[in-house]
Structure 1
Amino acid sequence: MGCNKPFRLLFWVSLVLCLECFAKGFTPADNYLIDCGSPTNTTVGLRVFMADNLASKLLSAPENVLGSTSKALTSSGDSPIYQTARIFTGVSKYTFSISQPGRHWIRLYFYPFVYDKYNMSLAKFDVSTKDHALLSSFSVQAPLVKEFSVNVTTNTLVITFTPSQNSFAFINALEVVSVPDQLIPDTTKSFKSSDEFHGLMWQALETVARVNMGGPTVTFDNDTLWRTWVPDQRFLVEKNLAVSVSNIRAVKYVDGGSTQDIAPNYVYGTCTRMNSLNDPTSNFNVTWEFDVDPGFQYLLRFHFCDIVSTALNQLYFNLYVDSSMVLQDFDLSTIMMNVLAAATYMDYVTESATSSKLRVSIGPANMNNAYPNAILNGLEIMKMNNSDGSLTGSGIVNTSSSSSKRNVGAIVGVSVGAAFGVLLAGVLFMFCRKRRRLAQRRQSKTWMPFSINGGTSHTMGSKYSNGTTASLNSNASYRIPFLAVQEATNNFDESWVIGIGGFGKVYKGELNDGTKVAVKRGNPRSQQGLAEFQTEIEMLSQFRHRHLVSLIGYCDEKNEMILVYEYMENGTLKSHLYGSGNPSLSWKQRLEICIGAARGLHYLHTGYAKAVIHRDVKSANILLDENLMAKVADFGLSKTGPEIDQTHVSTAVKGSFGYLDPEYFRRQQLTEKSDVYSFGVVLFEVLCARPVIDPTLPREMVNLAEWAMKWQKKGHLEQIIDTNLAGNIRPDSLRKFGETAEKCLADFGVDRPSMGDVLWNLEYALQLQEAVVQGDPEDNSTNMIGELSPQINNFSQLDPTVSSAQFESVDDLSGVSMSKVFSQLVKSEGR
């Protein structure tokens, strides 16, 4: 007996330790697990789903059917709960008694199979709670789990299944389980804003992705909240740029950081990092891409744990969402109280998505002494309900009773808080006024006006006054008095506004000598400011080209940032393609506009010793004069190109969504080919006459570039062209135009043509539209880019009779027609 005492003691110690381990797990107050349609309980891992007949008291349905399948479920991911289902032919409700109000999981399991006359893959139905539409016109073709998180504020939760007309609904299994209150805080950071997002606890959330970076699938048995984490490989854009790391033993949970309920150590113990070992010059981003629904905001939860460093303060990196930086020069050591490999997480709420794709990227810090490396351990993406309480974009689910309750609450809140609100408003007004004055003083100290010489001469002032005379001819500056600008725009008359951009409003104006001008007035609240203002002046004061908008002057008085340009009678190219009611452009007009814009960009790229990269090429920045001649505008984001011995410029990503070069976004390496990509998007925009991003369209059509490329690669581009052009484009011209756009949109810059190549091919497309070129078989016309040398920046290489001086004159103010040079190039003997 004495010999057994040590063993007995060891047994009890082990038991206590095990109990302590289990005690650390979350115990839900409400825990409903139902295997719908099953006559017996079903065990899945450590959990037991109750038989359907035991849960029948929770269900009210006018008519329903229990279904089962004898089909063998052979996949390792298939669960026994998928073998049975409950089918609803009418509106049916599950009513759950809630013992502890708060956030709850709702997990819906679907696996369509055929039972009797019901083919579940043909079912179409809605699923909703009292306050939220969870699924609308939902159908499913393969095993699927839909996970939602809702805040239940009453003692019951009702989940309603509503079949669509002439259809039915079904469910294989159902979960309603309590969630720890601290899992989703009420306040978190707001993406693209310095403000915080409040009211998150009232949001219904749908899990879009839950990813374990650098590791395998983490099943619900290894998660205290029974979540499943999937590997990140299928989301990686370029797998060769990433490396997986695993060091689960290193993970530490410390006060102020993450917990096991936030994410298990199997998530924090693996990560994906930059593949930058042994290369201290690495400069690229690791990017993941996810499908999302446009029109919704998303809660992004990033999980971090530095399992790659051997000491503190070794790892600094940047984090991006789409084209914007979320974290810069981020050091995990500092936020985790100098504990290496401490688990932590960060939440951000995005603005409403405008694309069907969401990209998350990590990349090296901008610090000089930091080794290029970056990591991400885990990521959760959760869709937030819209203003109607819907997670589907359709259906207002608020019942009259809930609406009336909210109205009563609103009335009471207004009555009680009215006096306090008035007082608070007064205090805030005084505070904001003081801050505004301080900001103005600060701005006046940092903004140093500067003079730029050269240009033409105008008399400044409106035609309705004597005005102020300012010469722009010799060494006088471009600066224009504020009074002159004010008079020229009729005191910034709102009826004279002709456009609104990222910098501010654009007004039509008229100087005293009758010269029409466009006046761009900076908005103090704009994300663009002093840097863009200075860049615009510096760039446009250097350039004079018939296809670049000319700068007449600027004003920096009274803390204003105002730019004055030549007036472009016909506005933007965008306004002539869609949305404004302008007459449709012919195909020849569109080609000539594209050619003019290409000439302007080609001049920027090649006209000086160092290339100038526009960085914001889009149809809204291509303006048209009274003769529909195109001029490139808006140089606020422009950047000087790389030195002769360099291939790129490393810079923060800027540009317009939908036009942004994906390689520039991933690698933060800017070249002229980034403009070429954006111009390729413009070409498809010109052809199809629709926005580059349109969230109202079906998912596959939302992004114009992706949609058009699919049709181009099928060889059926004619199926998606502007209906006004149908039957008016010669097939050869369309084929050449489509191939040019496709080349521009190549994934890698090295595979894209130069703007010189693009210009040549657009001229060729115009020639093909007007007449068949003699001696040039049509079959060969589609391969022109491939036949030419890879970089055609000097046309004189093709024909010795064309001198470099002649070529340069094509792009300067002389206005020489490109067709004179082009006519020599298209001749057989000229090749």
Structure 2
Amino acid sequence: MKAKSSGLIIGISIGVVIGAILAIVGLLCFRFHRKRSQIGNSSSRRASTIPIRANGADSCTVLSDSSMGTETSSRASIHNGISFWFTGPRKSHVVAASGILEYSYKDLQKATSNFTSIIGQGAFGPVYKAQMTTGETVAVKVLATDSKQGEKEFHTEVMLLGRLHHRNLVNLVGYCAEKGQHMLIYVYMSKGSLSSHLYNENRELLGWNLRVQIALDVARGLEYLHDGAVPPVIHRDIKSSNILLDESMGARVADFGLSREDMINRNASNIQGTFGYLDPEYISSRAFTKKSDVYSFGVLLFELIAGRNPQQGLMEYVELAALNTEGQVGWEEIADSRLDGNFDERELNDVAALAYKCVNRSPRKRPSMRDNVQVLSHILKTIQNKRHQKRRSSLSSSEVAITIGQSARQNSMNSEHHRAESMDSIPDSVEV
């Protein structure tokens, strides 16, 4: 009997031990699988091996319009927050949890000529132009090692842009989290930033019609973030240096490092964003909403109208003008002098009146981005209709001139014909 009891106890003990071992193994496998799907987050920030440059010719990020192909030497997944190589056959790419491809430091180093092809400098860090082995041109934004919010912004951009896709948003096509570095890879926007065109004399001057088109492009991008994305997204840093232009001067919203999903809890202890564009309500309440983006968009509209930097007294200038305009008409007095009067006063007043509504002190009185898109679409349609009518009128005038010319030539030919017939009808003279 004792032998049977001892055997039963030993069997139970062995079973418990085996069960515990299996549970531990299962837990380890689960944690390993979960961490493989996450984005690399280097736990140790080693000294940078990339030369961090001073400000480039352009103070903003310059990204691209080209799509990017599969890179044959992209790296694998991430374990314990640090990238590591697959020990098996080399993989062409790995799609992370965000759906964004991960690229190797070595390939980016080669594509940027050892990080010497700098094209911009922002709060995040330097931006380099890169020529990939596929022939595609991209822009590589590198997190500066002394950037306090950079790592958090890096993760925010990768996770958000992995699910946000719109023709008026700059596309993120890859990232790199290796050798203590964090890099974001975007399509390359060949025409640079909106701010560079507004304030750099070496850049192409933006005409009035193009400014309205750019405003509409930005409004559509923000409308998608507010009403098309699920859940909605608040950008939180709309400014001219974050609006990039492609080869055809189409505008796209960039830099989502401060963006947040529109959740119930939107209060923040620290003010983030760019002064001059910040919603006064946000500064006082620390609550950032969609209407805070609308305020920043209103400032951007006035920036397009006046060609003045919001960080250099633009809104004070606007408020003084508003005393005479009552927010409706008379805004032409603040128009960018470089436009040299080449704009329709009614169109400019309509855009300015919309901008003034966007910067209303009361967020509830500001229009939604959907409303802004509708108003700007109507204004741009009016501009296009005028252009078509002008072309039609010009063509009609040309046709009339051609018709008159043809009639004159025909009359001349008929006249010559009649003259010849008259000469033929005169009888020959008779010699006496």
Distance 1:718 1:472, change over 3 A: farther
* Alignment-derived partner of residue 556 in structure 1: 177
Is the aligned partner of 1:659 residue 2:282?
no
Q: Deviations over 1:66-87 (max 9, x none)?
A: xxxxxxxxxxxxxxxxxxxxxx
Does the C-alpha gap of structure 1 residues 569 and 474 become closer, same or farther in structure 2, counting only changes over 3 Å? same
Say whether 1:764 aligns with 2:378.
yes
SS in 1 for 2:212: helix
CA distance in 1, matches of 2:113, 2:219: 35
**Correspondence for 1:484:** 107
Distance in 1, Cα, partners of 2:121 & 2:201 = 14
The amino acid that maps onto 2:190 is E
CA contact (8 A) 2:331 2:352 kept: yes
Alignment check: 8 A CA contact 2:68 2:187 kept? no
Tell me how far apart the structure 2 counterparts of residues 528 and 685 of structure 1 sit (CA, whole Å): 27
Aligned equivalent of 2:294 = 676
Structure 2 distance, partners of 1:718, 1:472, is: 54
Cα distance in structure 2, aligned partners of 1:529 and 1:606: 27
Aligned to 1:520: 141
TM-score norm. by structure 1 comes to 0.35
Does residue 314 of structure 2 align to residue 704 of structure 1? yes
Q: Give the corresponding residue for 2:401.
A: none
CA shift in 2, pair 1:482/1:593, >3 Å: same
- SS of the residue corresponding to residue 650 of structure 1 reads coil
Deviation at 1:586, TM superposition (A): 1.0
Deviation at 1:477, TM superposition (A): 5.6
Q: For residues 238 and 94 of structure 2, what CA distance do their matches in structure 1 show?
A: 29
Give SS of 2:252's match.
strand
Deviates most, 723-732 or 516-525: 723-732
The Cα shift of 1:578 comes to 0.8
- Given that 1:461 and 1:488 are in contact with CA atoms closer than 8 Å, whether structure 2 keeps it comes out as no
For 1:631 and 1:441, how far apart are their aligned partners in 2? Answer: 33
Q: What residue number does 1:748 align with?
A: 362
* Residues 604-661 of structure 1, C-alpha deviations (whole Å, 9 max, x = no match): 0011332100000000001000001111000000011134xxxx72223210111111
How far is the alpha carbon of 1:483 from its aligned partner? Answer: 0.4
Q: Does 1:539 align with 2:151?
A: no
Structure 2 match to 1:623: 244
| Contact 1:595/1:763 (8 A) holds in 2 | yes
Shift of 1:441: 6.6
SS at match of 2:199: coil
- Report what 1:641 is aligned to: 262
Q: Equivalent residue of 1:470, what SS? A: coil
TM-score normalised per structure 2: 0.66
Contact 2:45 2:180 in 1 (8 A): yes
Question: What percentage of aligned pairs have identical amino acids?
Answer: 40
Residue 551 of structure 1 and its aligned partner are, at CA, apart by: 0.6
Aligned with 2:346 (options 726, 732, 741): 732
Distance in 2 between the 1:757 and 1:603 partners? 13
Give the alignment partner of residue 459 of structure 1, picking from 55, 61, 71.
71
Q: In structure 2, do the counterparts of structure 1 residues 772 and 517 end up closer, same or farther at CA, with 3 Å as the change threshold?
A: closer
Distance (whole Å) between structure 2 residues aligned to residue 441 and residue 531 of structure 1: 13
- Cα deviation, 1:773-809, whole Å, max 9, x if unaligned, reads 9xxxxxxxxxxxxxxxxxxxxxxxxxxxxxxxxxxxx
Following the alignment from structure 1 to structure 2, what is the Cα–Cα distance between the partners of residues 730 and 472? 52
Whether the 8 Å CA contact 2:127–2:140 is kept in 1: the answer is yes
How far apart in 2 are the matches of 1:470 and 1:687? 48
Choose the corresponding residue for 2:195, options 563, 567, 574: 574
- The CA distance in 2 between the partners of 1:728 and 1:472, in whole Å, is 52
Q: Is the contact between residue 111 and residue 130 of structure 2 (CA under 8 Å) also seen in structure 1?
A: yes
Deviation at residue 530 of structure 1 after TM alignment: 1.1
In the alignment, the residues of structure 2 paired with residue 605 and residue 503 of structure 1 have an alpha-carbon distance, to the nearest angstrom, of 24
Is the 1:547–1:630 contact (alpha carbons within 8 Å) kept by the matching residues of 2? Answer: yes
**CA offsets 1:150-180 (integer angstroms, 9 cap, x no match):** xxxxxxxxxxxxxxxxxxxxxxxxxxxxxxx
Distance in 2, Cα, partners of 1:460 & 1:740: 49
Residue 490 of structure 1 aligns with an amino acid whose one-letter code is: S
Name the residue aligned to 2:307: 689
- Maintained 8 Å contact 2:73/2:107: yes
| Structure 1 pair 470–689 and aligned structure 2 pair: CA distance change class (3 A) | farther
Task: Give, in angstroms, the shift of residue 456 of structure 1.
Answer: 6.9
Name the residue aligned to 1:603: 224
Distance (whole Å) between structure 1 residues aligned to residue 339 and residue 369 of structure 2: 25
Letter in 2 for 1:471: H
**What displacement does 1:735 show?**
1.2
Give the drift of 1:769. Answer: 3.0
Which amino acid counterpart does residue 569 of structure 1 have in structure 2? S
- Partner letter of residue 706 of structure 1? E
Cα pair distance change 1:529/1:474, threshold 3 Å: closer
> Which aligned segments of 4 or more residues in structure 1 are displaced greater than 2 angstroms?
440-444, 455-462, 468-477, 767-773
CA distance in 1, matches of 2:334, 2:308: 10
- What 5-or-longer segments of structure 2 have no aligned partner? 1-41, 47-66, 75-89, 388-432
What is the distance in 1 between the residues matched to 2:322 and 2:110? Answer: 51
- After superposition, residues 83-98 of structure 1 pair within 5 angstroms as none
In structure 2, how many angstroms separate the alpha carbons of the residues matched to 1:477 and 1:539? 10
Larger fraction in helix: 2
Q: Which of 471, 482, 496 is the equivalent residue of 2:93?
A: 471
Q: SS in structure 1 opposite 2:184?
A: strand
Q: In the TM superposition, what whole-angstrom CA distance separates every residue of 1:244-300 from its partner, at most 9, and x where no partner exists?
A: xxxxxxxxxxxxxxxxxxxxxxxxxxxxxxxxxxxxxxxxxxxxxxxxxxxxxxxxx
Matched residue SS, 1:670: coil
Q: What's the offset of the Cα at 1:490?
A: 0.5
- In structure 2, how many angstroms separate the alpha carbons of the residues matched to 1:474 and 1:524? 24
Cα pair 1:623 1:632 within 8 Å, conserved: yes
Does 1 or 2 have the higher relative contact order (CA < 8 Å, sep 6+)?
2
2:3 is matched with which residue?
A: none
User: Is the contact made by 2:68 and 2:136 (CA closer than 8 Å) also made in structure 1?
Assistant: no
Distance in 1, matches of 2:149 and 2:211, equals 30
Gaps of at least 5 residues in structure 1 are 1-439, 445-454, 463-467, 695-702, 774-831
